[in-house]
Chain A
Amino acid sequence: MKSFNYHAPKDVKDASKLASSNSAFLAGGMTTIPSLKLGLATYKDIIDIKNIKKLSGIKVSGKSVTIGATTKHAEVASSKEVQKAIPALVKLAGNIGDAQVRNRGTIGGSISNNDPSACYPSACMALNAVIHTNSRKIPAAKFFTGMFETALKKGELVEAVEFQVPEKADYQKHPNPASRYAIIGVFVAKHKKEVNVAVTGAKSCVYIDKDLSKKLSSSFSSSAIEGMKVDDSEMNSDMHASSEYRANLVSLYAKKAVEAC
């Protein structure tokens, strides 16, 4: 690991000021630290945001669940309030990585990194989340822009994620047996007026499967999407899963999610 300057600011303003084109924010460090250790990334400044109190915590209202950026997966997984409002989110958080990852990794880190096979981005998309940053609010649909890419600008820091409470929702994941990231993760959320089927792991970036969403919006039942073919043309094909297999899993897990709702 190359040496760097370590900063641990107490508030967002200071954190933002320290940011440059050669810096990284550090929350749980589940990706940043291994990248540093492997020499895949080098930074002049590492800005540890774990000491910024206002970034952590969970707020639940009737219509929304807001999770602070440095809230750990384990905290979400064990939250009774989230369990009451959006049980699918608790299920998702409780199956990320392993116990060590869940006790270090954070929601802000997960969505800012936007790994194509991370679980949280699918929840953001399906639950019409709004990403609160230190300068603006970004709808999830505009936040995840590509593989490991987001709408965040230099020095812009995720403060919280606000999820819309759906009528029903479920998350189904086919984990990569090695890394336990999602080979496929399907988040189905039934809102009052629409159904969103968000898919992670399948392509270079999380997306809403419009065909599945449309079908389920007109009839929310597993039979409505039974045997529906999913187009695999843009899907990832690698040593862990072919695009054909991934397409099969998307359709299958969407069905399972509807059944579990």
Chain B
Amino acid sequence: MASLVGSRVERKEDGRFLQGKGRYTADINIANQTYAVFVRSPHARAKIKNIDTSKSLKSSGVVGVLTGKEIAEDKIGGLIAGWAIRSEDGSEMKVPANPPLAKDVANFVGEPIAVVFAETLDEAKEGAEKVKVDYKVLKAVVDPADAMKSEAIHDGVDKNLCYDWLLGDRKAVDEAFAKADKIIKVDLINNRLVPNAMEPRACVVDYNSASEEITLYTTSQNPHLSRLVMSAFGGVAPENKLRVVAPDVGGGFGSKINVYNEEIVCSWASKKIERPIKWVAERTESFLTDTHGRDHVTHAELAVTKEGKFLGFKNETIANLGAYARVFGTVTPTYLFGPCATGVYVIPAAYSNVKAVYTNTAPVDAYRGAGRPEATYTIERLVEKAAMELGIDKTEIRMKNFPTEFPFKQTLVHTVDSGDYVAGLEKAKQMADYSGFEARRKKSEANGKLRGIGVSSYFEACGIAPSAAVMSLGCGVGLWESAEVRFNPTGQISVFTGAHSHGQSHQTTFAQIAADELGVPMENIDVVHGDTDKGTFGMGTYGSRSLTVGGIAIVNACKKIVAKGKRVAAKMLEVNENEIEFKDGEFVALKSNKKKTIGEVAFACYLPGQRDEMKSPIPEGDEPGLIESSFFDPANFSFPAGSHICEVEIDPDTGNVKIEKYTAVDDFGRIVNPNIVEGQVHGGIAQGIGQALHENTQYDETGQLMTASYMDYTMPRADNFPEFNLGFTCTHATSNPLGVKGCGEAGAIASPPTVMNAVIDALGGQEISMPATAEKVWKACKVMKKSNAKAA
């Protein structure tokens, strides 16, 4: 039987999604449900002096109005930071309370203050308008670079500083810098992004007063984790009385990792008003309250020899956490960022120092790549600038500093198990026709255009797992993943996974690997996820971990099925277990060549007997049934890597940047389904190009979000992109039996520096910040024209 792993199997999800048959949270309605509308702070920072709900309570159709006072009285806990980070001086990070409904102070525009439940959505909206909140507006802290000099917004958080974290050795770096021929410096802003999942957040809560069970349907990337957090920290209900269902979810990109205010409030309130509750975010609410991404201010330096060898690296970053620290908010700018900031290079000495600050803006958390795009942008801008200043070819300087042997002990934390960075860059150069660039540049020049080429080589630590490792770094939970494989008596198989698919195509990929393990057609396998009442447990989907961790749990559970099947088949075929071989779905007795299919074995496991004879196929010590589970906790992260090359053409009259060519060569280890992987790379590159050229989240000085709709926030569209030119190299991961590495974030990690390096190359090395909008580029072109005129 041909292996399904590696083949372009059509997506099982396509039929349902393309025909509009997806079932999202907003599609779910429960008889007698009420509609929730949240009253949100219109101010970035304000004292809540008084809330008058009397008019709202009298408004037509209003069933109830609840505020921070009631939720505090019921001792419902708030939102949490999932990782504890320690400062350089050994002190613990400072985390303010983040109540689900702000009671005393509102800290960002959009923060929920009260909630109104009504018979219809319109009545709830009208009721919300009638809640009168008396605010005392305070001066907002908006700019992260100023936050430490501003008034503290949270009690007990001096200088608005959550932590001042250091990774690496300052002294060793100073020594390395003293030996350098040249110090390359960059000042960078990693622009804040709104994740913009296609489906806005939503929740539907159904409380059963008889069983005292709460069922929460929600837009989550990790329903089990949501249940754990809501139960352990929110105190909403015991875990066994809380069922969390994340049905079809239309994109997350990290923004749906968190348990949000609305889910906690509606779950608590449903019990209180004894009515089901439905809440669906409007797009403006998504802009204002979904966790945002990035938002770093960085100064970084690279010490180099004149031959282009890297000696040392330092990185001083201010990371904006927004108003509160959320689940991955504190780890994104530290352990997901710092270790990767030395990139794919051998750099003997390095440190990353990160000061995470609170501001009166929406909380910032993981967003596709989470820390690693910021890291890659930092090092890859430095490397490109080093090449330019030293007059060395930009690919050559990278080759010079790549590790040549694996495992590669990276400067700060990771030991990269496998890779071949040289092969990746060579292949990218060839695919991009790197050597033909100069001719193309001249041609553009003859047409009055500026052409630039940019390179970026990246690696990332993903497959976020090793529990012992992440917990030692402050993670509040272990990041293993679980799976259960239920072989049903009639031969169909249900595979339960703790990972959650919100665009990743797990139903296809996971069915492919299970089908290969069990030797059955993929059609017999159903992948089930997203319901805490169905699957055992799970840590969910983020950090490119689903296949590398969750997929392996499936493989291991399948192996247990086969192992038991072998024992049963041996008894059925009356041979020793070691005389049985399992191949293509059949247990074969090697000597007699007698066989039993895995379906027959499963059937026998459930119907262990036969007429007229007292005989069981179940060996002694085994039990009937054929269900196995596995919890997989890998020994290491996985480390995808690659090199991307981008070519842009700039019209100096308008500043318009056109991406002429984009080449990506990635090493994701073994690829299970090339279609799906290519789709992931396309999506990631598109988001990265969005960051580099289009997307920008702008608050004004009072903390109002200026870009709170698609009229003002530029989402890239299909016509902003060229056709992507994709290639792959493959070195297998050694930390898991499939050799897979994860592919979900790579595109978004590699592409911003690739595009910006190309734009800056076209501008003759002139630095500009992301997003490189037409006007910014036009201004840079004018400066260039002036300095060229002077030179001539």
Contacts and interface: CB of A to CB of B under 8 A. Distances in A.
Nearest to A242: B775
Interface residues of B, number: 20
Contacts of B706: 239
Interface string B750-792: 0000000000000000000000011100110000000000000
A252 interface: yes
B775 A245 contact: yes
A21 interface: no
B654 A174 contact: yes
Interface in B702-740: 706-707, 710-715
B698 interface: yes
B122 A178 contact: no
A252 B774 CA distance: 14
B694 A177 contact: yes
Contact of B713 (A174, A178, A241): A178
Contact of B712 (A239, A242, A248): A239
Interface in A31-74: 38
Contacts of A245: 655, 775, 778-779
A151 interface: no
Contacts of A239: 698, 706-707, 712
A38 B778 CA distance: 35
A177 B654 contact: no
Given A177-B694, A239-B698, A248 B710 contact: no
A242 B773 CA distance: 12
B712 A240 contact: yes
Given A178-B715, A239-B706, A239-B712, A1 B122 contact: yes
A3 B122 contact: yes
A225 interface: no
Contacts of A174: 654, 774
A204 to B, nearest CB: 17
Q: Is the interface of A mostly helix, strand, loop or mixed?
A: loop
Interface in A199-254: 239-242, 245, 248-249, 252
A239 B771 CA distance: 13
B711 A241 contact: no
B74 interface: no
A38 B282 CA distance: 10
Interface string A178-209: 11010000000000000000000000000000
A82 to B, nearest CB: 24
A239 B707 CA distance: 9
Interface string A132-155: 000000000000000000000000
Interface string B487-499: 0000000000000
A181 B694 CA distance: 16
B653 interface: yes
A178 B698 contact: no
Contacts of B774: 174, 177
A179 B773 contact: no
Nearest to A37: B282
Q: Which of A3, A174, A178, A241 has most B Cβ within 10 Å?
A: A178
A249 B773 CA distance: 14
Interface in B270-320: 284
A181 B712 CA distance: 11
Contacts of A3: 122
Nearest to A180: B717
Contacts of A181: 711
Contacts of A248: 653, 778
Interface string B405-426: 0000000000000000000000
A252 B713 contact: no
Contacts of A249: 654
A250 B88 CA distance: 54
Contacts of B707: 178, 239
Contacts of A178: 707, 710-715
A33 to B, nearest CB: 14
B654 A241 contact: no
Nearest to B711: A179
Contacts of A242: 775
A177 B653 contact: no
Interface in B534-566: none
Contacts of A177: 694, 714, 773-774
A38 B283 CA distance: 10
Nearest to A1: B122
B56 to A, nearest CB: 16
B218 to A, nearest CB: 24
A240 B773 CA distance: 9
Nearest to B715: A178
Nearest to B700: A239
Nearest to A240: B712
Contacts of B775: 241-242, 245
A43 B118 CA distance: 23
Interface in B117-137: 122
B653 A252 contact: yes
Interface in A1-35: 1-3
Contacts of B779: 245
Nearest to A252: B653
A217 B473 CA distance: 73
Contacts of B654: 174, 249, 252
B236 to A, nearest CB: 32
Interface in B674-712: 694, 698, 706-707, 710-712
Contacts of A2: 122
Nearest to B693: A177
A88 to B, nearest CB: 20
Nearest to A98: B717
A1 to B, nearest CB: 7
A62 B775 CA distance: 42
A3 B774 CA distance: 42
A242 to B, nearest CB: 7
A102 to B, nearest CB: 14
A252 B782 CA distance: 14
A179 B710 contact: yes
Nearest to B716: A177
B131 to A, nearest CB: 15
A24 B426 CA distance: 63
Contacts of B713: 178
A154 to B, nearest CB: 28
Contacts of B698: 239
A225 to B, nearest CB: 14
Nearest to B775: A245
Contacts of B653: 248, 252
Nearest to B773: A177
Contacts of B711: 178-179, 181
Contacts of A241: 775
Nearest to A255: B653
A236 to B, nearest CB: 13
A255 to B, nearest CB: 9
B778 A179 contact: no
Interface in A162-183: 174, 177-179, 181
B449 to A, nearest CB: 14
A25 B495 CA distance: 56
A36 to B, nearest CB: 12
A192 to B, nearest CB: 31
Contacts of B122: 1-3
B143 to A, nearest CB: 16
A240 B711 CA distance: 10
A133 B712 CA distance: 33
Contacts of B284: 38
A31 to B, nearest CB: 11
Given A174-B654, A178-B711, 6 more contacts: A2-B122, A3-B122, A239-B707, A245-B655, A248-B653, A252-B654
**3 A-B pairs with the lowest CB-CB distances in the bound complex, closest first:** A178-B714, A179-B711, A177-B714
11 contacts: A177-B714, A178-B711, A179-B711, A239-B698, A239-B707, A240-B712, A245-B655, A245-B775, A245-B778, A248-B778, A252-B654
Interface of A: 1-3, 38, 174, 177-179, 181, 239-242, 245, 248-249, 252
